[in-house]
Amino acid sequence: MTTPDPIALTQELIRFNTVNPPGNEDQICNYLATILESAGFECRKIEFAPRRMSLVAKIGACSSERKSICFTGHVDVVPLGARSWKHEPFAGVIEDGKLFGRGSSDMKSGVAAFIVAAMKTAQAAKDGSGVSMIITAGEETGCEGAFHLAASQEILEFLGPAGCFVVAEPTANEPLLGHKGAYWLKASTEGITAHGSMPERGDNAFYKLAKAALTLETFTFDTPAHPMMGQGTLNVGTAKAGLNINSVPDAAEMTLDIRTVAGQSHKHIYGCLCKALGPIVKLDTIIDIEGVYTPATDPWMSSVFDCCEKVNGVRPEEKTVSYFTDASALKPAIGNPPTVILGPGQPEMAHQTNEFCYVDKITDATSIFEELITDWHQTGK
């Protein structure tokens, strides 16, 4: 098959309705597998639920002795929202240099760009250390596909360890050094129910929870702030207790949204919270996604900055972001390589009505990715 144009491929990917839920990523992954296999890539398809398919692909050595450059991107998208769209959201319309559609920025343009770049450099990768790709389902609902892949020893052995890792989330082609982690917990308390007119006969679970919430209001992390990400944060997002007004609630719960910085141990935070809240509060994990960070002084990251400067015409600033990505699940599984978040999408357009990506950003991203692949093999890493 002829290597597709990255803009046309982005349009094709947008035309697959992969709104999550339900996702239905199987059709788009089957389509991409056909394209990649035509260029000599080996592919594996993995489902974590019916029609919830992820795709991994590789070409070249991809071994411990000759580690690959690895790319990742997700193909599920968020719902459309209640507002009407200027263009049909699954048509991939181009107007005034912008490609419109759900997923145009987040992040089907990034997936298209690295697939085309990998196909263009397939022969060099085949003769060298290789290129690997991880295309996931279910990212928008807690990195479900990525965590499922990371738990599969068969898939990890197929991919081999990576020497460097590109996460093609929307950054407008600016390289980002990392992102915060997400540690979501449910805190619950128990009591004894009684009639609301005789509260002394019961044990109010909500009072216990309220005291715990006030404790969290002044909770501080005992780990030092990260030089770029700052300090972690904690927020009580929801709280509920009781079934009716005239009964003492015998159960209460609240949810905690903790955003951690690179280097913060979630296990340590859990221990600190248990100590602060005491035994009357039970903590259950909802999401456990670690932060990701690679310093700009890392040799490979420095080469990424050089490449982006060459294509973008300006030296990138050192930045991180607060949202999390599939890198949290995948980076440890593929050997903890240096990792950059870098893709053509407009970050401010993610999840927005009338989402779009600038057409020239897709072309530039493809050039950046192609150069990163070529450089990885030429430097003999």
pLDDT digits (tens, 9 = 90+) for 89-124: 999 999 999 999 999 999 999 999 999 999 999 999
Tell me which of 98 and 323 has the higher pLDDT: 98
Which CATH architecture fits 181-289?
2-Layer Sandwich (3.30)
Compute the distance between CA of residue 97 and CA of residue 87 in angstroms, rounded to an integer: 14
The phi-psi region of residue 117 (left if phi > 0; otherwise alpha if psi is between -120 and 50; otherwise beta) is alpha
List pLDDT tens digits, range 175-196: 999 999 999 999 999 999 999 9
Domain boundaries, the chain: 6-179+291-378, 181-289
- The dihedral built from the CA positions of residue 184, 189, 193 and 197, taken in this order, carries a sign that is negative
For the cut 80, the answer to whether the pLDDT of residue 381 exceeds it is no
For the cut 60, the answer to whether the pLDDT of residue 32 exceeds it is yes
Q: Alpha helices, DSSP H only, in 50-188?
A: 109-120, 122-127, 144-150, 153-159
Candidates 133, 191, 207, 148; CA nearest to 369 is 133
For the cut 90, the answer to whether the pLDDT of residue 84 exceeds it is yes
List pLDDT tens digits, range 198-213: 999 999 999 999 999 9
The per-residue pLDDT for 77 is 98
Residues 129-151 have a mean pLDDT of: 96
Tokens 């690959």, located at residue: 68
Neighbouring-strand partners of residue 251? 190
pTM of the predicted model, to two decimals?
Answer: 0.92
Give Cα 367 distance to the centre of its chain.
23
The per-residue pLDDT for 380 is 52
The per-residue pLDDT for 323 is 84
List pLDDT tens digits, range 329-369: 999 999 999 999 999 999 999 999 999 999 999 999 999 99
- CA 369 to each of CA 69, 103, 175, 362: distance values in angstroms, whole numbers, following the listed order: 10, 20, 12, 11
The per-residue pLDDT for 1 is 65
DSSP state of 95: E
Compute the distance between CA of residue 80 and CA of residue 258 in angstroms, rounded to an integer: 27
Task: Give, in words, the CATH class of 6-179+291-378.
Answer: alpha beta
Residues 204-229 have a mean pLDDT of: 96
Q: Do domains 6-179+291-378 and 181-289 have the same CATH topology?
A: no
